[in-house]
Structure 1
């Protein structure tokens, strides 16, 4: 009988401890952040339904509504222009089918595959033609520097091949200016060309792959001017009739610092189907957790990530799982952790998912230009971008906000030991507009995060779940420390 009583007592003790542990876990907000939930939200956001989350598209609007509903479920307060949405206007270009790129070498036609041999630039124009091809070096026309890739070649009614990047060398130590595709496209169009084929520099250790991108530069959109990014192999096919390779062309130009442009004696067939709008409405998604201190609730911590990616083109999806469904999922988990805490923070916390980072930080710029409070009342901004792939944690902008960076480092040392010491100054990504307003900021990113950057392979299956969870927990612990009033706003460097 005594033995049985002892067993019952032990079982009761185990049960009691389990209940205490479970209750403690529920009370501990950081335990709310789980990799399973993070990966589930990334899977949803990077799915075909959301179509690459290009601002202005139906897919992006679905993603914004998904995030707003999550904030609503957490009983956070809407903090936008209308409910959770803060509206802004952006350029928009939808790329549909058909999309065709072929080379024609004498009587031989080579068909190229979208995503493997070429992609369209995000702001490609619409047209259809088969035309001769000219190679025009770096695609620069700078008579003021005595350099013009178009000077000795007639590109009227031609398609031009140009290097996507600018030269690494200079003339008289002068800058070349922007290397954005729109600028080079407008130069080629002004010279009489009908379309442009960008190609990565072949002599780089790692030539840039065929990425999806909507970072395009300023200027009017040439709506009838196709803009493709083609593979080095496809470019070499088009140069084959003149007995040259792209690498030899780059070497010749770089060694002599003089143009080397010519007609290739080949043709290309190009078909692009696009729908351009100079302005469409899109939105940031913004929610508020009000602080509980009568004074400090009028100070704010902003925790943000960009929701957008680069969309799709002709059925080719750029999922953007790491960039930046990971950061978005991180914000949703951090919001859940704050909302689950029985003790609310002293300071108010703003959760914001930015639109149009990929086009040039448009959403975060709009947010800081339209603050609902004096900028001095924002004590810190934490940005999460590309946090799901890699093997360690990097926290950027630590040289500009060293006290803030030190908080993150101390939490990492106590809990994870994954944070590298390397950092930088000047903001970075969506932290930049805040930094430029004098707001202390940190930029959380996973180290070695960019193997799949802007590629169709940026899928949830590539992510590192354990690292993903820990970097989100680190961002939460840092944010909670600030929101609890344990950090005083510093003057940034």
Structure 2
């Protein structure tokens, strides 16, 4: 009773103080409750009214709206004196941001016509990574230019005007009796293995398009519609457009002059001297390329652990702060998805920061991470595990909150529930801790969507999964979908802030126990990830 009375007194005194003044407590069983109780509906509402307001324009990754949201979160963290944990500058000083870049590329509708014959993909092959956008090119002449090599010991370009031309070249490099002219040994030079060098050389000589005759066409991967890490190759200004053709296609292109090509190939091999000739053709090439670049940034803040050894172990608490942006005049505010989790994470971070300021900080370090790009395919978390700011082996767990402010149809009339996904997929310790933490919040823990055969596959659809893929115990707290999911009607007026606060507290208690227990969580479950 004395502990309970002490805690209640602290709570009352805290509510009369300024936000930045933490309660002063001593180490006892009531500490976690003192700080969990600072996560209150009024503050959550204040954050969400801004993050899910029309001024944020739906917070789509890559837009000004998301940058505004990031600046708001950053401002709250600074106000709460929570240290940045993002990318370091040239002086080694961390910021709150971890910028990332992704790209997406795809062919448009391609077509190649030669002398009134339409080619199929069995006749040619083209690589997206080496071709710039080519909406349409009409060709009335092609130039056979040997092997397309420009080397000190052998040059197909010497004395030949190639600016604005379409050239046809042979693969590899010339050789006689097994010995290459350029080496000059039995070992092939880089010209045999590096087609990019030929395309780069062609561009330097003003060539518009390179056609490489191949014995076997390369099978370039068909690009998916998903985003890829980095900015991509972007061949514009780096290499000439190009595609490979079969010998049959070369015969169609050159007609009777194809035999001349074969004859010249033998002469080059015999004497090591370049040969070239031109052929009139009627060819039209359409090779449109669609490329997109997406830039975003994760936000990270840290409350460093108090234990000299355990502070080098990190518990992540995560929430994505992006949404769908605008579609025409409609703003997709994303109040529940995931303004709710983003707002709760601000106050969870604040609670831990106050615990530390009062001298009762967690033993392990807590990293609070707002991720962008979730709606584009979990991009922010995908980038983070690709370029982690602390070794993944030192990351103990991820607690992910995504959509925690609404009630789904299954639980209509009973908002005191939460779906628990993934807690037991890697670690029985984590699942036990979630259940223990719930003794404070007394929510119904619904494991429906944790089932391996869940047709919704929610386990794979939020940012915790990129941690779980790296064998890091992870749990996803989720209120389920509703009629406003991914619609402009997902607005603040429909949010249950009492429910949000309870799930925020459950998250806090779960992280608190993981951070302060003597032993690290064990990864002791196989085959369920």
Q: TM-score range by the shorter chain?
A: 0.5 to 0.7
Pick from 413, 417, 433 the counterpart of residue 443 of structure 2.
Answer: 417
Q: What SS does structure 1 have at the residue aligned with 2:432?
A: helix
Q: What SS does structure 1 have at the residue aligned with 2:446?
A: coil
| Structure with larger Rg | 2
Take 1:490 and 1:18, find their aligned partners in 2: how far apart are those partners?
A: 35
In 2 relative to 1, CA 485–17 (structure 1 residues): closer, same or farther, beyond 3 Å? closer
In 2 relative to 1, CA 218–286 (structure 1 residues): closer, same or farther, beyond 3 Å? closer
Q: Tell whether 2:74 aligns with 1:57.
A: no
Take 1:33 and 1:409, find their aligned partners in 2: how far apart are those partners?
A: 20
Contact 1:306 1:430 in 2 (8 A): yes
Take 1:333 and 1:308, find their aligned partners in 2: how far apart are those partners?
A: 18
Bigger Cα displacement from structure 2, 367-376 vs 351-360: 367-376
* Structure 2 unaligned regions, length at least 5: 1-5, 16-22, 25-33, 89-94, 109-223, 229-289, 408-414, 453-458
Shift, 1:407, TM fit: 1.0
Deviations 1:443-469 (A, max 9, x none): 0112x4332111011001111122111
Within 5 A, what are the aligned runs for 1:70-469? 70-82=76-88, 83-90=95-102, 217=226, 278-341=292-355, 342=358, 343-390=360-407, 391=415, 392-400=417-425, 401-422=427-448, 423-424=450-451, 428-446=461-479, 448-469=480-501
Bigger Cα displacement from structure 2, 82-91 vs 343-352: 82-91
Q: What SS does structure 2 have at the residue aligned with 1:345?
A: coil
Shift, 1:417, TM fit: 3.2
In 2 relative to 1, CA 488–424 (structure 1 residues): closer, same or farther, beyond 3 Å? farther
Shift, 1:279, TM fit: 1.4
Match of 2:12 in 1: 22
Match of 1:111 in 2: none
Q: What SS does structure 1 have at the residue aligned with 2:65?
A: helix
In 2 relative to 1, CA 17–281 (structure 1 residues): closer, same or farther, beyond 3 Å? closer
Take 1:417 and 1:281, find their aligned partners in 2: how far apart are those partners?
A: 38
Contact 2:311 2:363 in 1 (8 A): yes
In 2 relative to 1, CA 21–307 (structure 1 residues): closer, same or farther, beyond 3 Å? closer
Contact 1:284 1:355 in 2 (8 A): yes
Shift, 1:372, TM fit: 2.5
Shift, 1:424, TM fit: 4.0
Take 1:406 and 1:325, find their aligned partners in 2: how far apart are those partners?
A: 28
Shift, 1:49, TM fit: 0.9
Q: Tell whether 2:515 aligns with 1:483.
A: yes
Take 2:9 and 2:422, find their aligned partners in 1: how far apart are those partners?
A: 42
Match of 1:180 in 2: none
In 2 relative to 1, CA 47–295 (structure 1 residues): closer, same or farther, beyond 3 Å? same
Take 2:291 and 2:487, find their aligned partners in 1: how far apart are those partners?
A: 25
Take 2:59 and 2:294, find their aligned partners in 1: how far apart are those partners?
A: 14
Query: Over aligned residue pairs, what C-alpha RMSD do you find?
Result: 2.9
TM-score for the superposition, normalised by structure 2: 0.54
Q: What SS does structure 1 have at the residue aligned with 2:75?
A: helix
In 2 relative to 1, CA 397–21 (structure 1 residues): closer, same or farther, beyond 3 Å? closer
Contact 2:348 2:508 in 1 (8 A): yes
Q: What SS does structure 1 have at the residue aligned with 2:423?
A: coil
Deviations 1:43-62 (A, max 9, x none): 11111111000111111001
TM-score for the superposition, normalised by structure 1: 0.57
Contact 2:424 2:430 in 1 (8 A): no
Deviations 1:156-199 (A, max 9, x none): xxxxxxxxxxxxxxxxxxxxxxxxxxxxxxxxxxxxxxxxxxxx
Contact 1:428 1:443 in 2 (8 A): no
Take 1:463 and 1:487, find their aligned partners in 2: how far apart are those partners?
A: 38
